[in-house]
Amino acid sequence: MTLHTKFRALGASVAAALMVASTASAMELRAWNIHVEDYPNSIALESFAAEVAEKTGGDVTVKLFHNGVLGNQPDAIEQVRLGILDMGQFNLGPMGQSIPETNVVSLPFIFPSIPKMYELMDGDVGDAISAGMEDKGMRALAWYDSGARSFYNSVRPINSPDDVEGLKLRVMSNNLFVGMVEALDGNATPMAFGEVYQSIKTGVVDGAENNPPSYHSVNHYEVAQYYSLTEHLIIPECVCISNAAWDKLTAEQQEIVKTAARNSAEEQRTLWQAREAASMEAVQAGGVTVNTIDDKGPFQEKMAVVYDGFLAENPDLSDLVNLIRNAN
Ligand code: GTR
Protein backbone atom coordinates (compact mmCIF):
# COMPACT_ATOMS: atom_id res chain seq x y z
CA MET A 1 0.00 0.00 0.00
CA THR A 2 1.45 3.36 -1.00
CA LEU A 3 1.49 6.12 1.54
CA HIS A 4 -1.16 7.89 -0.53
CA THR A 5 -3.61 4.94 -0.53
CA LYS A 6 -2.89 4.44 3.17
CA PHE A 7 -3.99 8.01 3.86
CA ARG A 8 -7.03 7.62 1.62
CA ALA A 9 -8.02 4.47 3.54
CA LEU A 10 -7.47 6.25 6.83
CA GLY A 11 -9.49 9.23 5.60
CA ALA A 12 -12.34 6.94 4.59
CA SER A 13 -12.43 5.18 7.93
CA VAL A 14 -12.30 8.49 9.83
CA ALA A 15 -15.16 9.76 7.70
CA ALA A 16 -17.12 6.57 8.36
CA ALA A 17 -16.47 6.87 12.08
CA LEU A 18 -17.61 10.49 12.01
CA MET A 19 -20.76 9.51 10.18
CA VAL A 20 -21.53 6.88 12.77
CA ALA A 21 -20.85 9.41 15.53
CA SER A 22 -23.06 12.03 13.96
CA THR A 23 -25.87 9.54 13.30
CA ALA A 24 -25.62 8.36 16.87
CA SER A 25 -25.86 11.91 18.20
CA ALA A 26 -28.53 13.07 15.73
CA MET A 27 -31.66 13.80 17.65
CA GLU A 28 -35.19 14.65 16.59
CA LEU A 29 -37.29 16.52 19.10
CA ARG A 30 -41.02 15.96 18.69
CA ALA A 31 -42.92 19.12 19.60
CA TRP A 32 -46.63 19.56 20.39
CA ASN A 33 -48.51 22.69 19.33
CA ILE A 34 -52.23 23.31 19.59
CA HIS A 35 -52.48 26.11 17.04
CA VAL A 36 -53.22 26.34 13.33
CA GLU A 37 -50.22 26.74 11.05
CA ASP A 38 -50.53 30.46 10.38
CA TYR A 39 -50.88 31.37 14.09
CA PRO A 40 -48.07 33.60 15.46
CA ASN A 41 -46.92 30.84 17.81
CA SER A 42 -46.74 28.29 15.00
CA ILE A 43 -44.78 30.64 12.74
CA ALA A 44 -42.34 31.41 15.57
CA LEU A 45 -41.95 27.69 16.28
CA GLU A 46 -41.04 27.12 12.63
CA SER A 47 -38.28 29.73 12.98
CA PHE A 48 -37.13 28.03 16.17
CA ALA A 49 -36.92 24.67 14.42
CA ALA A 50 -35.03 26.16 11.47
CA GLU A 51 -32.49 27.87 13.72
CA VAL A 52 -31.88 24.72 15.79
CA ALA A 53 -31.32 22.60 12.67
CA GLU A 54 -29.00 25.17 11.12
CA LYS A 55 -26.89 25.93 14.18
CA THR A 56 -26.45 22.27 15.17
CA GLY A 57 -25.57 21.30 11.60
CA GLY A 58 -28.61 19.02 11.53
CA ASP A 59 -27.58 17.08 14.64
CA VAL A 60 -30.69 18.32 16.44
CA THR A 61 -33.95 18.77 14.55
CA VAL A 62 -37.40 19.74 15.78
CA LYS A 63 -40.44 18.05 14.29
CA LEU A 64 -43.48 20.24 14.86
CA PHE A 65 -46.98 18.86 15.19
CA HIS A 66 -49.44 21.75 14.80
CA ASN A 67 -53.25 21.77 15.27
CA GLY A 68 -53.14 19.67 18.44
CA VAL A 69 -52.85 16.48 16.41
CA LEU A 70 -50.84 14.88 19.21
CA GLY A 71 -53.74 15.23 21.66
CA ASN A 72 -55.18 17.76 24.07
CA GLN A 73 -53.09 20.14 26.11
CA PRO A 74 -53.41 18.68 29.63
CA ASP A 75 -52.34 15.26 28.29
CA ALA A 76 -49.49 16.74 26.28
CA ILE A 77 -48.19 18.56 29.36
CA GLU A 78 -48.09 15.27 31.25
CA GLN A 79 -46.35 13.56 28.34
CA VAL A 80 -43.62 16.19 28.22
CA ARG A 81 -43.19 15.95 31.99
CA LEU A 82 -42.74 12.20 31.64
CA GLY A 83 -40.40 12.51 28.64
CA ILE A 84 -42.80 10.67 26.29
CA LEU A 85 -43.01 13.83 24.21
CA ASP A 86 -39.89 16.02 23.93
CA MET A 87 -41.33 19.51 23.65
CA GLY A 88 -44.50 21.57 23.79
CA GLN A 89 -45.62 25.13 23.28
CA PHE A 90 -47.91 25.42 26.26
CA ASN A 91 -50.15 27.95 27.90
CA LEU A 92 -49.40 27.97 31.63
CA GLY A 93 -53.13 27.80 32.46
CA PRO A 94 -53.59 24.03 32.20
CA MET A 95 -50.23 23.38 33.90
CA GLY A 96 -51.43 24.47 37.31
CA GLN A 97 -52.82 21.09 38.26
CA SER A 98 -49.37 19.48 38.18
CA ILE A 99 -46.99 22.43 38.59
CA PRO A 100 -48.25 24.73 41.38
CA GLU A 101 -45.83 27.60 40.62
CA THR A 102 -47.44 28.11 37.21
CA ASN A 103 -50.75 28.86 38.91
CA VAL A 104 -49.45 32.20 40.10
CA VAL A 105 -49.85 33.66 36.60
CA SER A 106 -53.32 32.12 36.30
CA LEU A 107 -54.64 34.30 39.09
CA PRO A 108 -57.14 36.74 37.60
CA PHE A 109 -55.91 40.30 37.03
CA ILE A 110 -52.47 39.55 38.51
CA PHE A 111 -50.38 41.28 35.83
CA PRO A 112 -51.13 44.99 35.49
CA SER A 113 -50.15 45.03 31.81
CA ILE A 114 -48.55 43.02 29.03
CA PRO A 115 -45.23 44.95 29.12
CA LYS A 116 -45.01 44.27 32.87
CA MET A 117 -45.73 40.60 32.20
CA TYR A 118 -42.81 40.47 29.71
CA GLU A 119 -40.49 42.14 32.21
CA LEU A 120 -41.40 39.82 35.09
CA MET A 121 -41.42 36.64 33.02
CA ASP A 122 -38.03 37.45 31.49
CA GLY A 123 -36.72 37.98 35.05
CA ASP A 124 -37.23 36.56 38.55
CA VAL A 125 -40.84 35.44 38.15
CA GLY A 126 -40.09 33.45 35.00
CA ASP A 127 -37.03 31.90 36.66
CA ALA A 128 -39.05 30.84 39.72
CA ILE A 129 -41.75 29.30 37.54
CA SER A 130 -39.22 27.47 35.38
CA ALA A 131 -37.56 26.10 38.54
CA GLY A 132 -40.95 24.75 39.62
CA MET A 133 -41.31 23.11 36.22
CA GLU A 134 -37.85 21.53 36.45
CA ASP A 135 -38.85 19.78 39.67
CA LYS A 136 -41.74 18.26 37.74
CA GLY A 137 -39.88 17.05 34.64
CA MET A 138 -39.64 19.94 32.18
CA ARG A 139 -38.11 23.38 31.74
CA ALA A 140 -39.15 26.59 30.01
CA LEU A 141 -36.79 27.85 27.32
CA ALA A 142 -38.65 31.07 26.52
CA TRP A 143 -41.95 32.83 27.14
CA TYR A 144 -44.51 33.61 24.45
CA ASP A 145 -47.27 36.21 24.65
CA SER A 146 -50.90 35.15 24.85
CA GLY A 147 -52.40 38.59 25.36
CA ALA A 148 -55.37 38.99 27.67
CA ARG A 149 -58.34 36.63 27.82
CA SER A 150 -61.91 37.94 27.79
CA PHE A 151 -65.34 36.32 27.98
CA TYR A 152 -67.50 35.59 24.95
CA ASN A 153 -70.91 34.01 24.78
CA SER A 154 -74.03 33.58 22.70
CA VAL A 155 -76.50 35.09 25.19
CA ARG A 156 -75.67 38.69 26.15
CA PRO A 157 -72.84 41.18 26.48
CA ILE A 158 -71.09 41.21 29.85
CA ASN A 159 -70.70 44.67 31.33
CA SER A 160 -70.74 43.89 35.03
CA PRO A 161 -70.26 40.75 37.14
CA ASP A 162 -74.06 40.41 37.37
CA ASP A 163 -74.19 39.69 33.65
CA VAL A 164 -72.17 36.49 34.18
CA GLU A 165 -74.78 35.02 36.52
CA GLY A 166 -76.09 31.70 35.23
CA LEU A 167 -73.95 31.60 32.08
CA LYS A 168 -72.39 28.24 31.27
CA LEU A 169 -68.78 28.99 30.39
CA ARG A 170 -65.98 26.72 29.26
CA VAL A 171 -62.68 27.17 31.07
CA MET A 172 -59.25 25.59 30.65
CA SER A 173 -58.62 22.53 32.84
CA ASN A 174 -57.66 24.05 36.16
CA ASN A 175 -59.72 24.44 39.34
CA LEU A 176 -58.60 28.04 39.64
CA PHE A 177 -60.65 28.95 36.58
CA VAL A 178 -63.67 27.08 37.89
CA GLY A 179 -63.39 29.17 41.06
CA MET A 180 -62.99 32.33 38.99
CA VAL A 181 -66.24 31.78 37.07
CA GLU A 182 -68.10 30.63 40.18
CA ALA A 183 -67.01 33.80 41.97
CA LEU A 184 -68.99 35.61 39.28
CA ASP A 185 -71.97 33.26 39.78
CA GLY A 186 -71.47 31.59 36.41
CA ASN A 187 -71.28 27.82 35.76
CA ALA A 188 -67.82 26.68 34.75
CA THR A 189 -67.11 23.65 32.57
CA PRO A 190 -63.46 22.60 32.15
CA MET A 191 -63.04 21.26 28.63
CA ALA A 192 -60.35 20.71 25.99
CA PHE A 193 -59.84 23.57 23.53
CA GLY A 194 -60.73 21.35 20.57
CA GLU A 195 -64.23 20.66 21.90
CA VAL A 196 -65.28 24.23 22.54
CA TYR A 197 -66.62 25.20 19.11
CA GLN A 198 -69.03 22.27 18.93
CA SER A 199 -70.05 22.69 22.56
CA ILE A 200 -71.05 26.30 22.05
CA LYS A 201 -72.77 25.49 18.79
CA THR A 202 -74.89 22.76 20.35
CA GLY A 203 -75.61 24.75 23.52
CA VAL A 204 -73.63 22.52 25.89
CA VAL A 205 -72.05 25.79 27.02
CA ASP A 206 -73.03 29.40 26.34
CA GLY A 207 -69.51 30.57 25.78
CA ALA A 208 -65.90 30.57 26.89
CA GLU A 209 -63.02 32.97 27.35
CA ASN A 210 -59.91 33.57 25.30
CA ASN A 211 -57.68 36.13 23.61
CA PRO A 212 -58.73 37.60 20.23
CA PRO A 213 -56.41 35.43 18.06
CA SER A 214 -57.74 32.17 19.53
CA TYR A 215 -61.36 33.40 19.58
CA HIS A 216 -60.91 34.00 15.87
CA SER A 217 -58.56 31.22 14.67
CA VAL A 218 -60.83 28.33 15.69
CA ASN A 219 -64.06 30.15 14.79
CA HIS A 220 -65.56 30.44 18.27
CA TYR A 221 -66.69 33.94 17.24
CA GLU A 222 -69.13 32.39 14.76
CA VAL A 223 -71.12 30.73 17.53
CA ALA A 224 -70.59 33.20 20.41
CA GLN A 225 -71.05 36.69 19.07
CA TYR A 226 -70.78 38.80 22.24
CA TYR A 227 -67.16 39.52 23.09
CA SER A 228 -66.76 41.49 26.32
CA LEU A 229 -63.29 42.81 27.03
CA THR A 230 -62.97 41.81 30.68
CA GLU A 231 -59.27 41.02 30.09
CA HIS A 232 -59.34 39.04 33.32
CA LEU A 233 -56.40 36.72 32.61
CA ILE A 234 -52.96 37.51 31.23
CA ILE A 235 -51.35 34.09 31.10
CA PRO A 236 -48.01 33.72 29.35
CA GLU A 237 -47.05 30.63 27.38
CA CYS A 238 -43.80 28.70 27.19
CA VAL A 239 -41.64 26.83 24.78
CA CYS A 240 -40.95 23.87 27.05
CA ILE A 241 -38.65 20.87 26.80
CA SER A 242 -38.69 17.70 28.89
CA ASN A 243 -35.79 17.23 31.28
CA ALA A 244 -35.18 13.86 29.62
CA ALA A 245 -34.63 15.45 26.17
CA TRP A 246 -32.67 18.37 27.62
CA ASP A 247 -30.26 16.05 29.39
CA LYS A 248 -29.49 14.25 26.14
CA LEU A 249 -28.24 17.46 24.49
CA THR A 250 -24.62 18.54 24.76
CA ALA A 251 -23.94 21.81 26.58
CA GLU A 252 -23.37 23.49 23.23
CA GLN A 253 -26.62 22.15 21.80
CA GLN A 254 -28.51 23.27 24.92
CA GLU A 255 -27.20 26.78 24.37
CA ILE A 256 -28.27 26.72 20.73
CA VAL A 257 -31.75 25.42 21.60
CA LYS A 258 -32.24 28.01 24.32
CA THR A 259 -31.06 30.91 22.17
CA ALA A 260 -33.26 29.79 19.28
CA ALA A 261 -36.27 29.61 21.62
CA ARG A 262 -35.58 33.12 22.91
CA ASN A 263 -35.18 34.45 19.39
CA SER A 264 -38.46 32.82 18.44
CA ALA A 265 -40.15 34.47 21.44
CA GLU A 266 -39.07 37.88 20.16
CA GLU A 267 -40.59 37.09 16.80
CA GLN A 268 -43.76 35.66 18.38
CA ARG A 269 -44.31 38.76 20.49
CA THR A 270 -44.06 41.02 17.45
CA LEU A 271 -46.33 38.81 15.37
CA TRP A 272 -48.76 38.62 18.28
CA GLN A 273 -49.42 42.36 18.42
CA ALA A 274 -50.29 42.47 14.74
CA ARG A 275 -52.41 39.34 14.95
CA GLU A 276 -54.43 40.65 17.88
CA ALA A 277 -55.40 43.76 15.96
CA ALA A 278 -56.21 41.74 12.83
CA SER A 279 -58.33 39.27 14.80
CA MET A 280 -60.34 42.05 16.43
CA GLU A 281 -61.12 43.47 13.01
CA ALA A 282 -61.96 40.07 11.56
CA VAL A 283 -64.39 39.05 14.30
CA GLN A 284 -66.22 42.36 14.08
CA ALA A 285 -66.45 41.98 10.33
CA GLY A 286 -67.90 38.54 11.11
CA GLY A 287 -70.78 40.04 13.09
CA VAL A 288 -69.37 40.10 16.63
CA THR A 289 -70.50 42.80 19.07
CA VAL A 290 -67.49 43.89 21.10
CA ASN A 291 -67.89 45.85 24.32
CA THR A 292 -65.13 47.37 26.41
CA ILE A 293 -65.31 47.58 30.20
CA ASP A 294 -64.01 50.87 31.52
CA ASP A 295 -64.12 49.98 35.19
CA LYS A 296 -62.89 46.47 35.89
CA GLY A 297 -62.99 47.15 39.65
CA PRO A 298 -66.23 45.21 40.30
CA PHE A 299 -64.78 42.12 38.55
CA GLN A 300 -61.51 42.44 40.45
CA GLU A 301 -63.28 42.71 43.79
CA LYS A 302 -65.09 39.44 43.16
CA MET A 303 -61.73 37.70 42.72
CA ALA A 304 -60.70 38.19 46.36
CA VAL A 305 -62.16 34.78 47.18
CA VAL A 306 -60.02 33.16 44.44
CA TYR A 307 -56.85 34.73 45.85
CA ASP A 308 -57.76 33.85 49.45
CA GLY A 309 -58.42 30.22 48.55
CA PHE A 310 -55.23 29.96 46.51
CA LEU A 311 -52.99 31.49 49.18
CA ALA A 312 -54.57 29.36 51.91
CA GLU A 313 -53.74 26.25 49.88
CA ASN A 314 -50.33 27.46 48.70
CA PRO A 315 -48.82 29.61 51.47
CA ASP A 316 -45.33 28.93 50.07
CA LEU A 317 -46.28 30.77 46.87
CA SER A 318 -47.29 34.02 48.56
CA ASP A 319 -43.84 35.58 47.96
CA LEU A 320 -44.15 34.91 44.26
CA VAL A 321 -47.68 36.32 44.19
CA ASN A 322 -46.48 39.43 46.03
CA LEU A 323 -43.52 39.82 43.71
CA ILE A 324 -45.97 40.27 40.85
CA ARG A 325 -48.53 42.29 42.78
CA ASN A 326 -45.94 44.70 44.19
CA ALA A 327 -44.64 45.31 40.69
CA ASN A 328 -47.95 47.02 39.96
C1 GTR B 1 -55.16 29.65 23.78
C2 GTR B 1 -53.82 29.09 24.12
C3 GTR B 1 -53.84 27.60 23.98
C4 GTR B 1 -54.97 26.99 24.76
C5 GTR B 1 -56.28 27.69 24.51
C6 GTR B 1 -57.40 27.21 25.43
O7 GTR B 1 -55.16 31.03 23.94
O8 GTR B 1 -52.83 29.62 23.29
O9 GTR B 1 -52.62 27.03 24.38
O10 GTR B 1 -54.67 27.04 26.12
O11 GTR B 1 -56.15 29.08 24.64
O12 GTR B 1 -58.27 28.00 25.76
O13 GTR B 1 -57.40 26.02 25.79
CATH code for position 127: 3.40.190.170
pLDDT bucket at 328, cuts 50 / 70 / 90? low
Residues 194, 269 share a domain: no
* Torsion sign across C-alpha atoms 184, 284, 222, 174: negative
At residue 231 the predicted structure's pLDDT band, cuts being 50, 70 and 90, is very high
Q: How far apart are CA 71 and CA 275, in angstroms?
A: 25
- 3-state SS class at 32: strand
Tell me: do 188 and 321 sit in the same domain. yes
Rounded to two decimals, the pTM is 0.92
Q: How confident is the model at residue 63 (pLDDT cuts 50, 70, 90)?
A: very high
* CB of residue 100 inside a 6 A radius of ligand 1: no
Whether residue 12 lies inside any domain: the answer is: no
Asked, for residue 65, whether it belongs to a domain, the answer is: yes
Residue 241 one-letter amino acid:
I
Q: Could you give the count of Cα atoms lying within 13 Å of 9 in the half-sphere of its Cβ?
A: 6
Give 72 Cα–ligand 1 centroid separation in angstroms. 10
Residues 156 and 270 in one domain: no
- Cα–Cα distance list, 173 to 27, 176, 188, 218, 282 (Å): 32, 9, 10, 18, 28
Q: What is the mean pLDDT of residues 196-225?
A: 98
Together in a domain, 293 and 228: yes
3 is a domain residue? no
Cα 193 to ligand 1 centroid, rounded to whole Å: 7
Are 223 and 306 in a shared domain?
yes
- Say yes or no: 57 and 139 in one domain: yes
Is residue 205 located within the same domain as residue 223? yes
Structurally, the chain folds into a number of domains equal to 2
> Which residue has its alpha carbon closest to ligand 1 atom 6?
193
Do residues 261 and 86 make contact, with C-beta atoms less than 8 angstroms apart? no
pLDDT of residue 40 exceeding 50, the answer is yes
Residue 171 pLDDT exceeds 80: yes
Query: What SS3 class is residue 112?
Result: coil
Q: Which residues contact 326 (CB under 8 A, 6 or more apart)?
A: none
Q: What is the pLDDT of residue 28?
A: 98
Residue 235, φ and ψ in degrees, nearest 5:
-115, 115
Domain range for 173 is 149-234+287-327
Q: Of 94 and 23, which is predicted with more confidence?
A: 94
Task: Decide if 320 is inside a domain.
Answer: yes
Q: Are 184 and 165 in contact (CB under 8 A)?
A: yes
**Ligand 1 binding pocket includes 91 (Cβ within 6 Å):** yes
Residue 10 included in any domain? no
Q: Cα(81)–Cα(139) distance, rounded to whole angstroms?
A: 9
Establish whether residue 173 lines the binding site of ligand 1, counting it when its CB lies within 6 angstroms of any ligand atom: no
| Ligand 1: nearest atom to the Cα of 172 | 13
56 in a structural domain? yes
State yes or no: pLDDT of 16 exceeds 70: no
Residues 211 and 263 both lie in one domain: no
Q: Is the CB of 133 under 6 A from ligand 1?
A: no
Q: State the distance from the centre of ligand 1 to the C-alpha of 2, rounded, in angstroms.
A: 67
Q: Look at residue 323 and tell me if it is in a domain.
A: yes
